[in-house]
Amino acid sequence: MASHMRIFLIILLFCWLSCDALAATVKRGLGPEPDSLDPHRAQGLSALNVARDLYEGLTTLDAKGQIQGGVAQEWMVHDGGYRYEFILRKDARWSDGSPVTATDFVRGLRHALMPSTTAPYAGLLDIIHNARGVRRGELPESSLGVKALGINRLQIVLESPSALLLPVLTHPVSYPRQKSFGRAYNGAFVMAERVAQSHLLLKPNPHFHSAASLRLDALMWVVSEDNNSELSRYRAGELHITETIPVGRYNWLKKNLPDDLRVSPYLGTYYLAFNLRHPSFKDQLKLRRALSLAIDRETLTRVVTSSGEQPAFGLVAPGLEDYAYPEQVEQTMTQQERLGLAQALYRQSGYGEDNPLRISLRYNTSTLQRRIAAAISAMWREYLGVVTELHNEEWKVFINSRRQGSNTQVVRGGWIADLADPVSFLEPFAADSSLNYTGFNDTQYDQWLRRAANAENPFQRGDALRRAEARLLSQQPIIPLYYYVSRHLVKPGVRGYVDNVMDIHLSRYLSVAEP
């Protein structure tokens, strides 16, 4: 009898440990419907987050956001940093069981750079030899500095030595591509079900090289553009992790759900962007600056966003080591001084009480975006007399409107760093960047970016990037408003979720102990 009791207790203990470590389904808030499930065409954060679960690059991120080997198990650097050789894992498989090969990465990188792909992040690959020429359609894709040296050996040649290659290879724009794209995935999960405007259900990929480490039976990304609705679902136990928190609920959540609330520094900047192709703002630097100075950022972050955001007058978010941020005169001024200068510049631009500026401000549908747009419209009206027409659009429609620029004047913008490097913030404003929806085309700016790319040492590179940011801010194609913080609710039982400045949390590391 005693031996039977011991066996029973051992079995009970095993079941308890197993149940504690494994949940049937982890449900995560996604935000808006992904704009694309093609990793090379993905643009919004929701699309990128899903892509990181379905696919894997040569390098990837650990739970802390640090770079580690992905499909590549090791790499060597040759020729003074010009040439990288990657050795791929022999157990890397697509979800159909076929091997992930060096040729798949050659095909993927070429596809990302083809002009017809219109990959929004293709500019990240410009560090690769001839990538810029391929992206512009000036060179054949076969000239790209990427070559399969064997089934499991890949060579990448750079334009110049760069520490950015390994971080870039964690980004979905660098992911491999099967000849028959869309039939298989090489990441930790596979797509099992997609219901538009509802959810995406992912199941573990049994052929993933680290499938044995996965602690989930399923993963559900839940679509929601209403933060209050997302909070309600979280409190009802329908979500384990939220995409964000509702506007104005930070203090309540801090008091009532302190163990769930996760607020952390984040490499991101929120701004408004001018359409410089529109007659109202083209060659109107004084007017653009007036509109920027008239916005009370302190009030905006304290009253409207109110979740720990910091007022911003620059583009590159704080927190990057060894970057000398350019000084901004506006930061040293009081708000009254800013308003006085704004009103003077507004009058000098030909506007006043008898001739108010009439503009449209376009933003994507969400409670936070609506409140920010309303607050800015009120400030412009009170301090300058500007008449602002507000337009909100569903996310996919909005990014298309913003990109085309045919019916936009001022649009909601913002940037979350893809790499922990200043160039991640600055590259989207290059004249030839597919992400440049402002129409900003400045020779001096582009020259500083090229100098940074060709710099011989980190000091020269940092100085060139600082000068590029200073030039951008002096020409005011955007109005920086605040620096982001990541804001999530995470159930206390969730494990493997680690706060990091990139706010990237791969689902492969997650598990949860259900109550």
pLDDT digits (tens, 9 = 90+) for 497-507: 999 888 999 99
- Statement to judge: residues 145 and 276 lie in one domain: no
The number of distinct structural domains making up the chain is 2
Percent of the chain past pLDDT 90, that is, above it, reads 79
Would you say residue 178 lies in a domain? Answer: no
Last residue of a domain, one of 109, 138, 173: 173
Higher pLDDT, 306 or 73: 73
- Statement to judge: residues 327 and 453 lie in one domain: yes
Q: Find residue 86's DSSP bridge partners.
A: 75, 154
- Statement to judge: residues 152 and 275 lie in one domain: no
> For residue range 92-147, what is the model confidence (pLDDT) as tens digits?
999 999 999 999 999 999 999 999 999 999 999 999 999 999 999 999 999 999 99
pLDDT value of residue 4: 47
Taking the C-alpha atoms of residue 93 and residue 181, their distance in angstroms, rounded to an integer, is 14
- Statement to judge: residues 141 and 280 lie in one domain: no
Which segments of 216-277 does DSSP mark as H helices, in order?
Answer: 227-235, 250-256
CB 317 within 8 A of CB 484: yes
The pLDDT-based confidence of 454 (bands split at 50, 70, 90) is confident
Would you say residue 437 lies in a domain? Answer: yes
Q: Which of 106-110, 114-118, 307-311, 444-448 has the lowest mean pLDDT?
A: 307-311
Pairing mode, strands 358-364 and 387-393 = parallel
Last residue of a domain, one of 173, 192, 219: 173
Taking the C-alpha atoms of residue 418 and residue 506, their distance in angstroms, rounded to an integer, is 14
Last residue of a domain, one of 107, 139, 173: 173
- Statement to judge: residues 276 and 146 lie in one domain: no
Would you say residue 82 lies in a domain? Answer: yes
Token representation of residue 121:
């992040």
Would you say residue 46 lies in a domain? Answer: no
66 exposure class (CB count in 10 Å sphere: 0-12, 13-18, 19+):
exposed
Q: Give the amino acid at 354.
A: D
Would you say residue 195 lies in a domain? Answer: no
- CB atoms closer than 10 angstroms to residue 246: 21
Q: What are the backbone angles phi and psi of residue 291, rounded to the nearest 5°?
A: -65, -35
Element at 360 (helix H, strand E): strand 358-364
pLDDT value of residue 20: 40
C-alpha distances out from residue 486 to 238, 272, 300, 330, Å: 21, 19, 17, 26
Taking the C-alpha atoms of residue 173 and residue 112, their distance in angstroms, rounded to an integer, is 6
pLDDT value of residue 515: 58
C-alpha distances out from residue 496 to 22, 167, 216, 245, 333, Å: 12, 21, 12, 20, 44
pLDDT value of residue 11: 38
- Statement to judge: residues 288 and 158 lie in one domain: no
Give the range of the structural domain holding residue 92, as residue numbers without chain letter: 62-173
- Statement to judge: residues 428 and 319 lie in one domain: yes
Could you tell me the pTM of the whole model? Answer: 0.78
Give me the mean pLDDT over the 163-181 stretch: 94
Pairing mode, strands 358-364 and 410-416 = parallel
Would you say residue 496 lies in a domain? Answer: no
Q: What is the CATH number of the domain that holds 162?
A: 3.90.76.10
Q: What is the CATH number of the domain that holds 451?
A: 3.10.105.10
Would you say residue 209 lies in a domain? Answer: no
Q: Tell me what the pLDDT averaged over the chain comes to.
A: 92
pLDDT value of residue 368: 87
Q: In sequence order, which residues have a C-beta less than 8 Å from that of residue 116 and are 6 or more positions away?
A: none
The pLDDT-based confidence of 14 (bands split at 50, 70, 90) is very low
Q: In sequence order, which residues have a C-beta less than 8 Å from that of residue 282 and are 6 or more positions away?
A: 276, 439
- Statement to judge: residues 319 and 462 lie in one domain: yes
* pLDDT of 244 over the 80 cut: yes
Would you say residue 29 lies in a domain? Answer: no
Token representation of residue 476:
């005011």
pLDDT value of residue 514: 64
> For residue range 357-410, what is the model confidence (pLDDT) as tens digits?
999 999 998 888 999 999 999 999 999 999 999 999 998 899 899 989 888 999
Token representation of residue 179:
């000849």
